[in-house]
Amino acid sequence: MQLKDQVALVTGGGSGLGRAIVERYVEEGAHVAIFDRSHERIEEVTRALGGKVIGIAGDVREMADNKRAVVECVKAFGKLDTLVGNAGVWDWSKSLVSTADDALVSAFDEMFAINVKGYVLAAKAALPELYKSKGQMIFTASNASFYPGGGGVLYTATKHAVVGMIKQMAHEFAPHVRVNGVAPGGIGGSNLAGIGALGQAGQKFSELPLNDLMKQMLPLERAFHAREYAGAYVFFANRKDNQPGTGGVLNFDGGIGMRGF
Ligand code: NAD
């Protein structure tokens, strides 16, 4: 019970990695508020986990929704110790060369609004409660935060931006609130959505041959399931073990950069 009586808010907690973090946090004794745009997914997770979680439906791109999520969380559980910023979308590695000019402008806005603005707004909304609890923020970065080839120009740019955001927030919020990130590689059990403006609404991440792809790409030669990534988020949320760390991003990606020449 590494997170006994701790309270967390997880954006994108209805599916994939976010859902695995929620389940693991509950196993470790935490109360969790799930903030997701999908009512159905929220219902499914809250039904499965009972009274230890609540769900808030909303869009991470909206300041009012982020604030409402924090208010509901504190109303239900009395405080907030950990914000996990995690909701995100992918561009299916769409190349800039093949992207039409008119789609590019709205695709850029959609991608940055969810993957970067969503994190900044969640941080701003959670900050007053995290100052009170001397808590922490944990953001989902990606292998694409460090290496090319895990997305197109838009996705890779957003995930690099997340690293800069984490460092600046860690600098600004010290010594009150710690800010760290986890950079996973390909995630089994994910339903990562594409960009509407690029016509990717119908593409299903779950149908990718992830295990085969990861076997070729990774020194550790397999895909890892969302559940296998969740422990890193326990580490950063565990007040006993995380006190010295702020501004760090943990590469937790099957060793993607360790191929050598
Ligand atoms: P997922 O689609 O399974 O889960 C993401 C959740 O975020 C969904 O439930 C979705 O409804 C929610 N969401 C999306 N946009 C939202 C919005 N505007 N407002 C509120 N909720 C919204 O995907 P996942 O793979 O678990 O992705 C989680 C994070 O992991 C993302 O930040 C992603 O970039 C990152 N990541 C994923 C992979 C991968 O291989 N899937 C690899 C590295 C990093």
With a 6 Å cutoff on the Cβ, whether 15 touches ligand 1 is yes
With a 6 Å cutoff on the Cβ, whether 145 touches ligand 1 is no
How far, in Å, from the CA of 11 to the mean position of ligand 1? 9
Task: Write out the DSSP string of 115-182.
Answer: IIIHHHHHHHHHHHHHHHHT-EEEEE--GGGT-SSSS-HHHHHHHHHHHHHHHHHHHHHTTT-EEEEE
For residue 208, the number of C-alpha atoms closer than 13 Å in the C-beta half-sphere is: 20
Peptide bond into 175 cis (omega under 30): yes
How far, in Å, from the CA of 216 to the mean position of ligand 1? 24
- What is the residue with the minimal CA distance to atom 34 of ligand 1? 88
How far, in Å, from the CA of 261 to the mean position of ligand 1? 32
Sign of CA dihedral 25, 31, 34, 39: positive
- The string of pLDDT tens digits covering residues 66-118 is 999 999 999 999 999 999 999 999 999 999 999 999 999 999 999 999 999 99
* Token duo for residue 121: 């707004």
155 in catalytic set:
yes
3-state helix, strand, coil in the chain (%, to 5): 50, 15, 35
Stretches where the chain sits below pLDDT 50 are none
Predicted confidence at residue 50, as pLDDT, reads 83
State the Cα–Cα distance between residues 151 and 90, nearest whole angstrom.
7
Predicted confidence at residue 179, as pLDDT, reads 98
- What is the residue with the minimal CA distance to atom 10 of ligand 1? 12
CA distances from 156 to 19, 60, 142, 188, 246 (A): 23, 19, 9, 20, 23
With a 6 Å cutoff on the Cβ, whether 182 touches ligand 1 is no
Those residues whose C-beta lies under 8 Å from the C-beta of residue 146, and which sit 6 or more positions away, are: 163, 183, 251, 257
Question: For residue 193, which atom of ligand 1 is closest to its CA?
Answer: 2
10 pairs with which residues across the strands?
Answer: 34, 84
Predicted confidence at residue 133, as pLDDT, reads 98
Predicted confidence at residue 49, as pLDDT, reads 95
Alpha carbon 75 to chain centroid, angstroms: 23
